[in-house]
Structure 1
């Protein structure tokens, strides 16, 4: 039983760190890059809200309660990354960023719902769609996300203390790089190129 639990958790972890599915990594990067270590609780809450969103749509998609065109989801996932990265560019260095909790959390939840539909498409390839498997899979995803977010926070700390990047420059540069990576993903999506 425990062996099966860890196997399912590992499927979730592997899905996040899969080099072919780096879109999820890019979203986590732009979600976490504006923050520093002292904000770790807020970042953890954001990531958990994202997990709640994609877990809800994962369950709904896995049980065919919700079905969405796969091409649309593959188009919308990079759009969520692009919107988050652009938001970072326009709010980089602004002092009141942390005060607007509601809209940021709701947007993260909504984007999680979109990403979860992508996970549900992945799970169509796996025969086990039991609720226990979905919970264990989601736990693996959450573990991988938390690790990635702490890596982003650590890299931000290193660049801002050792290499003397300003926080604003760190957010602008990484968010701009992500924008440059997702625009081709959007252009090459099957929705735009049937």
Structure 2
């Protein structure tokens, strides 16, 4: 197995790891307000998250910044909660271009926080290697592929429920976002650092 394949698989497994479901929750919260016909918007949104994630992952791995992991572990569910509550507030809104741009900004910004959460683990995996850009690139490509798979499955389920069971978009957003927000509150309580 090449280095690219190894780190690609690590990135894909990182996002799809059910025991580290905070990333899955965040990706679901990001795409809950969109319908399957809006897949291009969702792809840009997920990519914005990956860009943010990649940036802080690289900065910590290259020893350009250091972070308090306890604070980061608390901030990750905060980002999930904010995204879910934002969805609940927007559930009756017509999702126009301005709202999409705001979502892209939040995805990018929150991606920065999520990247910090995994950076120490990846840094330990890389050890003393000096040429790590290829591994970082492969990891983030794997992360993006995993996110796209999760979003595809989630949006496919949403489309089936809308089409066959006529679940209103507003009700779908409220149900999923409320559940995600509730889980995020539990995670915040479990990871509080004070």
Q: TM-score, normalised by structure 1?
A: 0.93
CA shift digits 1:76-117 (9 cap, x unpaired): 000000000000011013114443333222121110100111
Q: Could you say which residue in structure 1 is the equivalent of 2:30?
A: 31
Q: Could you say which residue in structure 2 is the equivalent of 1:56?
A: 55
Q: How does 1:153-172 map to 2 (within 5 A)?
A: 153-172=155-174
Q: Could you say which residue in structure 1 is the equivalent of 2:69?
A: 70
Q: Could you say which residue in structure 2 is the equivalent of 1:125?
A: 124
Number of residue pairs matched by the alignment: 191
Tell me how far apart the structure 2 counterparts of residues 87 and 156 of structure 1 sit (CA, whole Å): 19
Unaligned ranges ≥5, structure 1 = none
Q: Show structure 1 runs of 4+ deviating over 6 A.
A: none
Tell me how far apart the structure 2 counterparts of residues 135 and 127 of structure 1 sit (CA, whole Å): 13
Tell me how far apart the structure 2 counterparts of residues 164 and 87 of structure 1 sit (CA, whole Å): 24
Tell me how far apart the structure 2 counterparts of residues 95 and 70 of structure 1 sit (CA, whole Å): 38
Q: How does 1:1-194 map to 2 (within 5 A)?
A: 3-128=2-127, 130-192=132-194
**RMSD of Structure 2 on Structure 1 (CA):** 1.4
Tell me how far apart the structure 1 counterparts of residues 34 and 163 of structure 2 sit (CA, whole Å): 14
Tell me how far apart the structure 2 counterparts of residues 131 and 183 of structure 1 sit (CA, whole Å): 35
Tell me how far apart the structure 2 counterparts of residues 74 and 63 of structure 1 sit (CA, whole Å): 20
Q: TM-score, normalised by structure 2?
A: 0.93
Q: Please state how far the C-alpha of 1:179 moved relative to its aligned partner.
A: 1.1
CA shift digits 1:98-141 (9 cap, x unpaired): 43333222121110100111121221330356111011001100
